[in-house]
A and B are shown apart, each in its own frame.
Chain A
Amino acid sequence: MSRGKRVDDVASALEGLEDGAVVGVSGFGLSSNPEALIAGVLDAGARDLTLVSNNAGAMGLGLATWLQAGIVARVICTYVGSNHDLQRALSTGSVSVELVPQGTFVERLRAAGAGIPAFYTPTGVGTVVAEGKEVRTIAGRACLLEHALPLDFALVRVHRADPFGNVRFWRTQANFAPAMAMAARVAVAEAEQIVPLGGIDADDVHLPGAFVQRVLHVPTHADVIEHRIVRPR
């Protein structure tokens, strides 16, 4: 199989990740995390990172390990909830946290990748989110000016990738991955499966390879479930 954008190991996947980088990591809580890349950043030794993530970890796991290691200076997220490490960082002021409405969060990433420097949205008008932002009435509705959120690195979990970086997701795995990959200078796809070119039919590509710079094959994951709810058989 042609090598293409495939890299051999986590260290190569993260090459060029420097102190102070803005890093987006896909996943919803602990679901669909790029687990090998998350662990790899700790080993890479980069510090003072700006972490862009919906939850920044949970239950002391996933991205919470970055907070525990003190390598994060700033978090841009939508929800803190029961992330005790982020709660602690908030209360001690060791990390600055910017809370963003989830739709605005993903649209700021998408905009960065789509060449849109800023946009107006009705979400958040009259709330704490509006503080310091331009408000403009468009078509009769008050809107906030929100700016694009470009990333240095995007670390995203995908189901299947080919050597060009064409990607297919599984179930609710996609979440922020496409927008983050688009927004990043270097997007790394942590793929459960690698297929040859043509292994994903053109109509079934969820994220075209133009948005992916590196592909890392990681066949197994811990995939911790935060709230396992089942019906008895």
Chain B
Amino acid sequence: MSGSEDAMLRRALAEIRPWTVVNLGIGLPTRVGDLLPADAPVWLQSENGILGMGPFPLDGEEDAQLINAGKQTVTLREGASTFDSALSFAMIRGGHVDLAILGALQVASNGDLANWSVPGGRVMGIGGAMDLAAGAKRVVVLTRHVAKDGSSKLLGGVTYPLTAAGAVHRVITDLGVFDPIGAAFRCVELASGVTLDAAREQTGAPIHP
């Protein structure tokens, strides 16, 4: 794990409050859960029908019919519940998930999120992304600031297919923490060793201090 990735995961962990319901998206967001202490009173939701996911199972204790939305074998914590997809999405769409930490391809300063499809790329599908972005009480995006091709993921407007409009409350990147406020991002904090000018250079929208 690179230093900045570790710092990103720890910063995302700080967004999680006790006795809340949290959905962690596939990829980097899932790994925030690895940092949660085993006895932390946090109920991780998985959209295939779990509230209260525990750690990965011990070798030999895996159950093919106990998986997360990424189809990985998981366990249940004490106080967990399992249920069907209709109830799971009632939880998500109905605003009963306190926080969703999601990955992103692009995020705009007006809170628009694109995280399900790259134009011209392979069709991956929507899954629970649109419901989570539209329905969670608070949506935090956890992503690298700049894509592998060098383009900024934080923009004045998304150009990739939209997941949900105006959905994102906060963006945590390797450069810092930025809140979408309309025509610009507001810089909440900068990562260690990063200047505001450096963050601005790598962002496709204005950043207010």
Chain A residues in the interface with B (C-beta under 8 A): 28-32, 58, 77-81, 87, 90, 97, 99-104, 106-107, 109-110, 121-129, 169-179, 206, 223-233
Contacts and interface: CB of A to CB of B under 8 A. Distances in A.
Interface in B27-49: 46-49
Interface string B109-122: 00000000000001
A176 B67 CA distance: 14
Given A101-B131, A129-B130, A172-B66, A122 B93 contact: yes
Consensus secondary structure, chain B interface: loop
Interface of B: 46-50, 55-67, 69-74, 76, 82-86, 89, 92-93, 122-131, 134-135, 161-165
Contact of B58 (A125, A177, A179, A230): A230
Contacts of B73: 225, 227-230
B84 A224 contact: no
B60 A233 contact: yes
Contacts of B92: 103
Contacts of A77: 125
A186 B92 CA distance: 29
25 contacts: A28-B67, A30-B71, A31-B64, A78-B125, A80-B124, A100-B126, A106-B84, A109-B86, A122-B135, A123-B93, A123-B130, A124-B130, A128-B162, A171-B63, A171-B76, A172-B48, A172-B50, A175-B85, A179-B84, A227-B67, A228-B62, A230-B62, A231-B57, A232-B58, A233-B58
A99 to B, nearest CB: 5
Given A80-B124, A226-B71, A230-B56, A103 B135 contact: yes
B84 A229 contact: no
Given A31-B67, A178-B86, A227 B72 contact: yes
Contacts of A226: 67, 71
Given A77-B125, A123-B130, A231-B58, 20 more contacts: A31-B64, A79-B126, A80-B124, A81-B124, A100-B126, A101-B127, A101-B130, A104-B131, A110-B86, A122-B135, A126-B162, A128-B161, A169-B84, A174-B82, A175-B48, A178-B84, A227-B71, A229-B57, A230-B61, A233-B60
A172 B49 contact: yes
A224 B71 CA distance: 11
Contacts of A228: 62, 72-73
B84 to A, nearest CB: 4
A179 B83 CA distance: 12
A171 B48 contact: no
Contact of A80 (B67, B74, B125, B161): B125
B2 to A, nearest CB: 21
* From A77, A128, A229, residue with most partner B Cβ within 10 Å: A229
B162 A102 contact: no
B126 A223 contact: no
B86 to A, nearest CB: 5
Contacts of A175: 48-49, 84-85
Nearest to A125: B165
Sorted from nearest, which 8 A-B pairs have the closest CB atoms? A103-B89, A103-B131, A79-B125, A223-B64, A174-B84, A101-B130, A171-B66, A226-B71
A177 B127 contact: no
B139 to A, nearest CB: 13
B85 A99 contact: no
A124 B67 CA distance: 26
A85 B127 CA distance: 18
Contact of A126 (B70, B82, B128, B165): B165
